[in-house]
Chain A
Amino acid sequence: MTLRKKNCDEVVKDGRFRKAIQFLSAAETIRELADREDEIGDAYVTLCVHAGIAAADVICCHALGYHVQGQDHGSAIAELSRVQPDGRELGHALRVLLSNKTRAEYGEYAISADQRKRAGRAAERLVEAARQRHI
């Protein structure tokens, strides 16, 4: 599969960064407002996934000058993993999020408490790394 790359300028970086913050903030808000966390688990994880993807785009833009477009998750993880010095851990965090994407968004089974926790941590890790590079 050919790698689909989108070159980044400041507009792309800013826009993706704002979305990463917005999605993570929305995820935290619905978790705080929920009476029971398991009742909003799928929505929470979906927002974490979107936050993580946007953050990964910012990180790739900063280090590589482009980010991966499309549904090719393997390439997105591989490109992020090339970023130094923390690309491997960041790639792992993105993998955690993308592995939950389908189940959280479209699946008939609810996300488990463990998946919820891991997704939250992975999204925070990616958004924090994006913040350190972007601001």
Chain B
Amino acid sequence: MDFRHPLATITPTLDGQVLSVLAGADAEFTGRQVHRLLGTHSERGVRKVLNRLVEQGVVLSRKAGPANLYQLNRDHLATPWIEGLVGLRRELLERLKAEVSTWQIRPAVGTVFGSAARGEASTESDIDLLLIRPAASDDGREAWEAQLASLQAKASAWTGNDARILEFSEEELRGSAGQQDVLKAVAREGLFFAGSRVTIKRLIKRSAR
């Protein structure tokens, strides 16, 4: 999956990117606005796509003075699927959240970080997951590792990208300044499916002591 253009999972054309912009707000856009938000391709090309989508009925158009205004047709049969594809990154987080909520040993922190979190990951990118094992869970070491292996396999299957898990224990991070860089990156850009940014900030403070 290409996290920059989730609709590319079904269409590699500009149509998918234009639909992503229109799906982002319940608002009318001029062709120029859509082009500016995309920041790519020609304005003429964007207008051609918009008019093609109007023909399909999935985009509505009306005249306002000299301009044409375009809006995603929220009543169209195809719209729920378009919105679903636009929200694939959110769906991934929901699935990760649901998965770890069933675990016997739940992580103190679970985040997606790196290029997938920044929305920059292409089909070639790995999906980086950071999981922090809670304190006093040493007895369940085997169960914990089985959970991680299962999550890694599922996240790869859900996206088509290789999922890579980086794992620490809370004890390991306490008093160790060695992981400051990765923790700071997670605090800055992580998308959390377990724990929160506050937990990470606390761990950074503790590990710096």
**Within 8 Å CB of B27, what residues of A?**
63-64, 82
CB within 8 Å of A: which B68-115 residues = 83, 87, 89-90
Min distance, Cβ B171 to any Cβ of chain A, angstroms: 24
B146 within 8 A of A: no
**Within 8 Å CB of B24, what residues of A?**
62-64, 83-84
Q: Is the CB of A65 within 8 A of B189?
A: no
Q: Is the CB of B118 within 8 A of A135?
A: yes
Min distance, Cβ B197 to any Cβ of chain A, angstroms: 8
Q: Is the CB of A84 within 8 A of B118?
A: no
* A78-89 Cβ-contact flags toward B at 8 Å (1 or 0): 000011110100
**Within 8 Å CB of B90, what residues of A?**
85
Q: What separation, in Å, do the CA atoms of A135 and B3 have in the docked complex?
A: 12
A132 within 8 A of B: yes
Q: Is the CB of B87 within 8 A of A63?
A: no
Q: What separation, in Å, do the CA atoms of A132 and B117 have in the docked complex?
A: 8
With A65-B33, A132-B191 as contacts: A87 and B118 at CB distance below 8 Å: no
B37 within 8 A of A: yes
Q: CB-nearest residue of chain B relative to A24?
A: B197
B45 within 8 A of A: no
Q: Is the CB of B25 within 8 A of A84?
A: yes
Q: CB-nearest residue of chain A relative to B119?
A: A135
**13 examples of A-B residue contacts, CB within 8 angstroms:** A63-B24, A63-B25, A65-B33, A65-B36, A65-B37, A82-B27, A85-B83, A85-B87, A87-B26, A132-B89, A132-B191, A135-B119, A135-B188
Interfacial residues, chain B to chain A (CB-CB below 8 A) = 23-27, 29, 33, 36-37, 83, 87, 89-90, 117-119, 188-189, 191, 197-198
**Other than the known A63-B24, A65-B33, A82-B26, what 15 A-B pairs have Cβ atoms closer than 8 Å?**
A28-B198, A63-B25, A64-B24, A64-B27, A82-B27, A83-B24, A84-B24, A84-B25, A84-B26, A85-B83, A85-B87, A85-B90, A135-B117, A135-B118, A135-B188
